[in-house]
Structures are given as structure tokens and as C-alpha cells.
Structure 1
Amino acid sequence: MALGNKDGIVACATAAGPAFEGAAISCGTGGVAGAIDSLLWNEGRLEWTTIGGLNPIGVCGSGIIDAAACLVRGGIADDTGAFADPWSDEGYPLAGGNGKSIYFTQSDMRQIQLAKAAVAAGIGSMLDDIGAGLDDIESVFLAGGFGSYLRPASAAAIGLIPPQLLPKVEAVGNAAGHGAVRMLLFRNEGKDLSSLATAVRYLELSGSDFFRDRFVEELFFPEPLDPVVPASSAASVTADGQ
């Protein structure tokens, strides 16, 4: 992550990738055909889509964020991330069909809490380092495949992105790849990028008391702005996602 302006850039890194990529999620998978890539409540029932419109085989990154947001919004998980009964043991069913049920478990939610808290605490640490606040941020750019398909509203719903920044979010795709291409093709831009790299200051978070304290605070989920009451059969009946 990086935060800056024409006067300089501060950057930091947090350990959040595996959970958002599905590696630490019980039914997690990569962004492949059949992966659930989005979930939404519709009249108290979860509706989902899969990549390629195939039967679900698991949940990829964007779907994982949607799932966490939906469960918080639906009261399945409270602000501490704890699941309500009877979902605390086996998890909440997101989708079924073709002999395979996709669940989101209590352990999955804990993994998301750790990851999103690390990112949110990293954002807070960079702002604190330069003496700025959320109101000072003019634009938020989400890069990479995950950032491009992430639903910003779901990210804000779980506290991954501060809700105040939601109107300023823009997905920019493979920014690193595009930058590398422009550096190779346009000599002047290559020089500008080289000088830009030297302006980046790395903020080490491992020994930061501020990061540690903010991380603990960010483990909690925000109160849902638009709570949903799941239908009685929402746990066993889902849309076909197509």
C-alpha cells in the first residue's frame, strides 16, 4: 500500500494476501471457472454468480469479501465476527448444487478479520505517519486482479476500506504491468518513474505500537448501514448464480 502526493510517498506492507486469495479459506479457490465471485442479499436470500456461469466449486477473493459483508449485514456474524447459532459449528451455507455445498465458516471469518484489520491498520499508520486524515485523501486506487473485481461497498462494509473513502475508490487494473510497459516504450516516462521510485519511503510496521493498537481496534466489524433479515430458508436455498 502507498499513500502520497507530489511531495512524496510513504508505503507499507501487511500480511493479508492469503486470506483474500482463498488460500486460508475452507472453501476458497482462485479466480477460476466455477469460483463464486459475487454474493448479494435479494429479498432475504443469498444470490451468487460464478466465473463462467458454472456450478460453484468454491469462493474466490471478490466472493470472499462479499460473503463476509453479507454475513455481517444479515446478522449471521456480529461486530466481533462471532457466528450466531446454529452456524457457529459448521458455518453458513453460501451455495449448493451439483453435490457440492459451499460454506463460510467461523474460522474463515476469523481469517478475514485478521487480514482486513491488518490492511485498515496499515492505512491508519500511513496517515498517522504523515499527519493526515481521511478527509485529506482525494483518490483511492485499487490495483491488481483482486482490486479490479473487488466490490468496494463490501470492502467498506467489513472495514477493509474506511467507509468515508468509498466515493473516492477507483479500480485501475494491472497498474504495475501498465507502468512497466510505459517505462519500456516511453523513455521520458521511464525517467520520471525512476525518480518517483526514489521518492518512496518505506514505513516498517512490525515494531509499531500505533499499528499494533490500531490492528486490535480494526478487528471489529462496522455496524451495518443497511441490515438484512435472512429468509427462513435462506440457508438451504440459493439462486443459481446465472
Structure 2
Amino acid sequence: MALPTVEFVIAPSTEAFRANPRDAALTEPILEIMKTCEGMIRLAHLRPLIYVAFAFSSTTFGLQHEDKTSAYCAVVWHSLGDHKALMNDSVKHMKVGEALQAILDPMAITMFHCAFNSEPYKALQAPVTEIITITLHEGESKDTLEELVEELAHAANISPPESGAVSAAWGPSTEKDDVFFLMIGWTSVEAHYTLVKAWPEVLAIIERIKAIATVEVKHVALA
């Protein structure tokens, strides 16, 4: 099976959503529309794999851990073309935008896609998902950066269960040649920072990445 493309949408959340991110009345209208979209990858129980996520909650819906206000939405597609088909469907796309207004500001959306080179599902469904945006510095080696990101993902994937690391996956942005995304699933935000501080080999990889790229780290609850 071909590996999926994951769409990420980020925008300021609404007051109603911040007050109760578990309110199904806010989220179910979006899910009902997305169920009709071709190319969505669905879970075993046929619910679309769509998460509007904010990370101090271990539920599907919450607030970003760092700022407590930003809404993250992740949608898993079979291909980028499937998402483009939705965007080209003016009626359905308008309905999605209208439904999203209950959760976030559709006029302030930042959107990006990642073509993962391994399955991303475990990282997406972990209690907390670390989303790392890595932007290569001008003049630096793209091949070197890819090797380092692969090393970091591998280190997370071979760490013992008691470390708190669940799974890692990475891949390039479909929009920008110099941007990569790394997702690492964790049992908690604290587990992430505890492991990194105690693992000099990983710290060394991170420092090598930071020497040639800009790194931005966010945490969200996507499972």
C-alpha cells in the first residue's frame, strides 16, 4: 500500500472550542462532511482519520501544548491529489469551511502537507504527538539533513517502551523543497523532554541538525 500524505491545518481556535474541546457538537459536523470525501484513509471503525488537536488533552480534541490557543487539524489522505479534489469541489469545500468556523478561524489558516516515508499512524494516535518542522539553511546539504532526520527518527523508534517514545515518522513537505517534518508520538510531553535530556547521543544529533537547519517543535494530542 502506498504511504499516505498528511494534511496539517493550523489556526487560532474559537472561544467555544477552547472552553470545551471535547464538545462533539462542534466537531461532528466536520467529520460528517469528511466521511463523504474520496481518498480519506479511515480507521478500522470507519471514522475518518481527522483530528482537530490541541495538546494538553489526551482526547481527540484539545489545545496546543505550547500556546493553549492554536488549533491543529490533521487529515490523512491516500494522496495529495485527493485533497486537491476536495478543494476543487466548491460546494463541499465551502461546507467544510463553514463547519470549521465552530472550531477555528478559517481566515487565518496555515496549511501544509507531508509525504511520509513510513507509516505515520502510531505517531498520530499517540497520547501526544510532537510535530517538528525542519527548514534547511541556504547553502547546506539536503542529503545530510535527510540522513540526520532519519537518525533521529530511528533513535526514537528503537527506544524502549519505558522511555515514553511511541513511534516516529518523517518526510518532506510537498510545498517547499527545503522543509521536512518529523513526528514523534509520546506518552506525554514530559516523557519527551526527560528522554532527550538523558540521551546524549540524541542531543548530539539534534545539535547537528540545528547547525544546518531551523527547528520548530510543537506538541499536540492527536489520539
- Name the TM tier (shorter chain): 0.3 to 0.5
| TM-score of the two chains, using structure 2 as the length reference | 0.34
- For normalisation by structure 1, the TM-score amounts to 0.32
The structure with the largest strand share of the pair is 2
